[in-house]
Amino acid sequence: MGRRGISDLYLLTEPCLDLFERVSVALQNGVGIVQYRHKYEGQNGHQVMACRLRDLCRNYQALFIVNDDPGLALICQADGVHLGQGDVSVARARDILGDQALIGRSTHTLGEAIQAEQQGADYIGFGCLFPTASKSDTVSSSLEELRRVSDSVSLPIVAIGGIHAGNAAQAIRAGADAVAVISAVMQAKNCQAAVRELKRQCRAGRVGMA
């Protein structure tokens, strides 16, 4: 297991009718981190959704992270927050959430990864590694750049961007501690099977590093 539980599968939510059922199945089958992405609900909806997801994660001893919003993370007593390049600073998030919070930062280049470590982030998200339809404003990166990042920073690395069972092992072999998935789980016809196969691919990636 990576530092503070950063290992294998990191699930980012997206709106769907069976969101809580899918997250429950994912947690039951080994997802260790869930990030709540609250792009569409109103403020009251944010809090209700976040608190329900937090409770689910606690039932399975998984980490619960809020995207972008340290204030919401504080209100719902999340384990931490994940910050984009345009969000508040790591230092500001730390002031709001305290020393025990897990603070991640999205990065796309080696320079951004090094900067995130210097600023006190607990882990980095790195990508976009592969084509994805989940976000329209992505910045492309590569497995080669991921390898350089892995060699240069000591923080846990969560690979993100178009990751599915067919390429998850590649990301792990290139140096990621975990892979972030969205549609590969949230849109899967069989959520349980998708999670289990992703877990298997992560293990296969680690074997390939031995």
CA 205 to chain centre: 18
Separation of alpha carbons 6 and 29, rounded Å: 16
Asked if 106 and 121 touch (Cβ cutoff 8 Å), the reply is: no
Catalytic one of 7, 106, 134, 141: 106
Greatest CA separation for the chain: 48
Separation of alpha carbons 111 and 115, rounded Å: 6
- Is 154 an active-site residue? no
- Is 37 an active-site residue? yes
Catalytic one of 4, 135, 173, 196: 135
E strands in the chain: 8-12, 33-36, 63-67, 80-83, 102-107, 123-126, 157-159, 178-181
- Is 106 an active-site residue? yes
Catalytic one of 4, 24, 37, 148: 37
Residues designated as active site: 37, 106, 135
